Structure 1
């Protein structure tokens, strides 16, 4: 991993893609031989958004990541919990800590926590004391778009009082919240952001804009506009693959540009979501696509999207 300040200086001078430092805001490591990730070890779930994911039901470790990154100048990474064994939520931190000692990265981590479980105080307390951990992820309860209403509430959802009691603990421990939920739940996300203005929310995977019809993208954008009104919300642009299709600028350009139009270049970060997005395409092609989509943006904005925003949000 290259010297960050030198790459930043050089990129601001040249604007060349080959000089652009990248802080990958969302990646994973898996060791399926030594550790238990239920979704990788057990029978695959039927409704995984990319379809069949047998190709990634294997270990993916730092050396694999560096090979996958290829020619891109990855200088920092943020590891997001990989749905580790829920019976041992802190086990993933111990394992990731050992990887960092050996390989020098990841530079930050968002750990697994279950906000409505009885162990939330213990888990959040450990994370809050550990310098590697910047936030937590707990995917809130959600429903299909056809079943969703503006008044939706369910156990484990963002309006569940017990879930919110756990969420309220994050600020005291200096932890941000990784929000992975479908965009039609963004009215609840906006409420959460307003009710807890001191807690940073980082939306994962652009709100999962799977419906690429004109109506679907219009509804997705309106939902983004609603949650973007809250200043404590940041957006990660990743995980926007289309099942059965290679990652393409033609298909994903409108999503990337639409997200940036709504949130602005200071509140978005690009990320690989690797190896999960490897179901669809290579990491090199994904980052090449992001670079091509924003090539006409000012160099300062490109640097923010690929590096500076992630470094700021995660303190790395």
Structure 2
């Protein structure tokens, strides 16, 4: 396997990527620790930024100068205006959808340990319509990213309808997220059955599989889907499960600031590598570096540029 420097210096897109999901507005607040019920604690407001799983994944590709297409709807309202302004600054296409529904937002509470807790208020990104995707040639994409937040409730039916338009050889990259056990079991089964590539953290993988060992959980996911699975394991790097084998790809040391968006950044790093023709192991090594950089930064959408990756690592 090549080293990180060689990987970063030779990134060249070969495949087409489509990102489906949300552009959320994150209000980041630092707290010493999460309060107990009835408590009154002091918080330190840090900033308000655009985040959301899909936006964070797109942020990785954007920072690495890799092309992608995305559908992250922009609604109507205070938070939608913040999203619209950020998209304009980045030069992202703006998909303004009809209606009077605002974009979602959340309170991102970061503890001194770096652990984060989200309190989410969902918006237009959970009220998608299949016809909104008619402008896209879904069959032209090689990798399609979907977040678990977008497959809850009726929105999930729309996502499955859209994914039916993909080519048989296209890879759906699915990150169910921390609410994985709250997903309709039939919805989760649909992603297993379509052979989606799951990217999850160790806790999520163990809950999904019923396994207590992270490697066994990763192997269970890969066997169930027939597709490689990637399971992040904090500072210990990530487990890759493929063809009946689980192997660990080492992580990178980092001083943890918070973990907001680090899982999304890891998924973005994996997609970045795969779309450039890297091996899965090389893609995960790149993802480990990207995620560690994000973990050392405050808030969402803090992925590194190529230069920053080379400087830091």
Do these two structures clear the TM 0.5 threshold for a shared fold by scoring above it?
Answer: no
TM-score, scaled to structure 1? 0.41
Per the normalisation by structure 2, the TM-score is: 0.41
Whichever structure has more strand as a proportion of its residues is 2
Say which structure is richer in helix: 1
